[in-house]
Amino acid sequence: MTDKPKKELAVAALASGTVIDHIPSSQLFKCAKILGIESLDTHVTIGNNLDSHRLGKKGIIKVADVFFPEETLNRIALIAPSANINIIKDYVVTEKHQVELPDNIVGIVRCGNPKCITNNEPMKTRFEVVDRNDVTIKCHYCGQVVKSGDALID
């Protein structure tokens, strides 16, 4: 590193860790919740309302020294199907891919139906993807269908 003042944010140079990019601005904090950012003790940078060609405004999350299980990352697809994952090791992007929606989503999403068993019994929720294009999911128990962008995230 030189002494010259940097115009870019320091976080651009993540030595090692995970960058989740191209998150729609409206979904950024839900993403942070899914990843459990709140309980991490490594460097975390969250940016929002950044300019994006694809999305207009986007959010980004950079987490140093943490590599999330694929399963956790794919849960982001629920609310941000456009999100990109960059795995960085030794300043080099070693892996770059889009999140992929799992067929079943266990936990995380709360059913919007107050009369659903999952809202009245100590148990995990379960949703099945019914439409991948507009990311619609269906409660495995009561059958209520919701667009996942509107889903209640626990």
Partner 1 sequence: MSNLVSIDDISREEILDLIERARYFEEHPNHKVLDGKVVATLFFEPSTRTRLSFETAVNRLGGRVIGFSDAGTTSTSKGETLKDTIKMVSNYVDLIIMRHYLEGAARYATEVTDTPIINAGDGANQHPSQTMLDLYSISKTQGKLNDLTITMVGDLKYGRTVHSLLMAMRYFNPTFNFVACDELRMPKEYKDFCDANGIKYTEHTEFSEEVINQTDILYMTRVQRERFTDIMEYEKVKNLYTLHNDMLANSKPNLRVLHPLPRVNEIDRDVDDNPKAYYFDQARNGLFARQAIICKALGIDIYKENN
**Tokens read off for 148:** 């996942």
Among 95, 117, 147, 154, binds partner 1 (CB under 8 A): 117
Q: Is residue 118 close enough to count as binding partner 1 by CB under 8 A?
A: yes
**Residue number with CB closer to partner 1 (65 or 128):** 128
Among 61, 109, 139, 146, binds partner 1 (CB under 8 A): 139
Taking a C-beta distance cutoff of 8 angstroms, is the pair 141, 116 a contact?
A: yes
Q: Is residue 140 close enough to count as binding partner 1 by CB under 8 A?
A: yes
Q: How many residues bind partner 1 (CB under 8 A)?
A: 16
Taking a C-beta distance cutoff of 8 angstroms, is the pair 91, 21 a contact?
A: no
Extended strands (E) in 65-112? 84-89, 92-98, 104-106, 109-110
Residues that bind partner 1 (CB under 8 A): 113, 115-118, 120-123, 139-145
